[in-house]
């Protein structure tokens, strides 16, 4: 498939799992109704509650949330990136923050466990220590699909260009970035980082963010967007819950890489 529409879903998820799943399903259906073949949900879309409750809220993969969203993928016929969820693994002390990719039949194509954990203290603004309750992953994940090769990542990963260069070298054409970017860092860096990752890797970027106030009390940035390999922002979700929808043109991506072959010119390993 040379051209198709992708959608980044913007949500304001809370601690009511059933309500989150229902809202996610409605937004995926809305994206499919607009013609989207690839839909990306935001980070921790299914449940966002107190840090001390995360271990109890974690679930296996496959599990109830993947089964619920697999039904939505089958219903709509889309490739669905389930943003991320808290994955419980037998024997692990902490859950992983895991992104799952489903195909249009609802089959689980791949999972990616977030490598870089957000441990930040901005005095008077936001303090988050993701590593207190979540374990880091280790594997770089690129998934070949009928829509092209999809590179998986989550939120804070966006600040680590070496991950995205590895994704590009493994063949990624579209970089998926489900996120829950906080307001201070989002205002300063979200768009710049998304566009930079698109430009330096000559990939499309589909970045789906949380919006509103998180259960921890800090504001999320929103501004879910889709950027092309030239770094242009093709679509934004705007304020509140909603969608950013834009065309992925693999022929254009191939042309950009052919006319400016900087990936082939790289001399240093990342």
Choose, from 43, 54, 173, 241, the residue flagged as catalytic.
43
Choose, from 59, 100, 114, 194, the residue flagged as catalytic.
114
Query: How far apart (Å, rounded) are the C-alpha atoms in residues 35 and 30?
Result: 9
Distances (CA, A) of 170 to 34, 129, 150, 174, 261: 31, 31, 10, 12, 16
Following CA atoms 8, 43, 170, 258 in sequence, which dihedral angle do they give, to the nearest 10 degrees? 30
Choose, from 54, 100, 130, 155, the residue flagged as catalytic.
155
Collapsing DSSP states into helix, strand and coil, what is residue 168? helix
* One-character DSSP codes across 13-35: --S-HHHHHHHHHHHHHHHHHTT
Annotated active-site residue 241? The verdict is: no
Q: Which residues are CB-neighbours of 112 under 8 A, at least 6 positions away? A: 98, 99, 101, 137, 139, 141, 152, 153, 154
Do residues 130 and 155 make contact, with C-beta atoms less than 8 angstroms apart? no
Phi then psi dihedrals of residue 263, to 5 deg: -65, -35
| Token representation of residue 77 | 């016929």
Annotated active-site residue 194? The verdict is: no
Do residues 220 and 213 make contact, with C-beta atoms less than 8 angstroms apart? yes
Query: How far apart (Å, rounded) are the C-alpha atoms in residues 231 and 98?
Result: 27
What residues act catalytically?
A: 43, 114, 155
């Amino acid at each position: 498939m040379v051209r198709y529409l992708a959608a980044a879903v913007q949500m304001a998820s809370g601690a009511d799992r059933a309500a989150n799943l229902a809202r996610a399903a409605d937004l995926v259906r809305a994206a499919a109704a607009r013609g989207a073949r690839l839909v990306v949900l935001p980070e921790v879309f299914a449940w966002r509650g107190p840090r001390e409750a995360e271990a109890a809220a974690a679930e296996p993969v496959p599990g109830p949330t993947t089964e619920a969203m697999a039904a939505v993928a089958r219903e709509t016929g889309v490739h669905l990136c389930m943003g991320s969820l808290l994955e419980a693994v037998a024997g692990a002390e902490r859950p992983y923050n895991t992104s799952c990719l489903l195909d249009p039949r609802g089959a689980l194509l791949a999972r990616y466990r977030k490598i870089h954990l957000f441990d930040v203290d901005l005095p008077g603004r936001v303090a988050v220590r993701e590593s207190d309750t979540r374990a880091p992953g280790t594997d770089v994940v690129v998934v070949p699909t009928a829509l092209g090769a999809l590179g998986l990542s989550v939120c804070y990963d966006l600040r680590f260009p070496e991950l995205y260069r590895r994704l590009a070298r493994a063949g990624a054409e579209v970089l998926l970035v489900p996120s829950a970017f906080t307001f201070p860092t989002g205002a300063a860096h979200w768009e710049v980082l998304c566009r930079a990752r698109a430009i330096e890797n000559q990939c499309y970027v589909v970045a789906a963010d949380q919006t509103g106030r998180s259960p921890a009390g800090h504001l999320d940035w929103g501004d879910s967007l889709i950027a092309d390999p030239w770094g242009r922002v093709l679509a934004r979700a705007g304020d509140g819950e909603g969608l950013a929808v834009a065309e992925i043109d693999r022929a254009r991506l191939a042309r950009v890489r052919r006319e400016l072959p900087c990936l082939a010119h790289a001399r240093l390993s990342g």
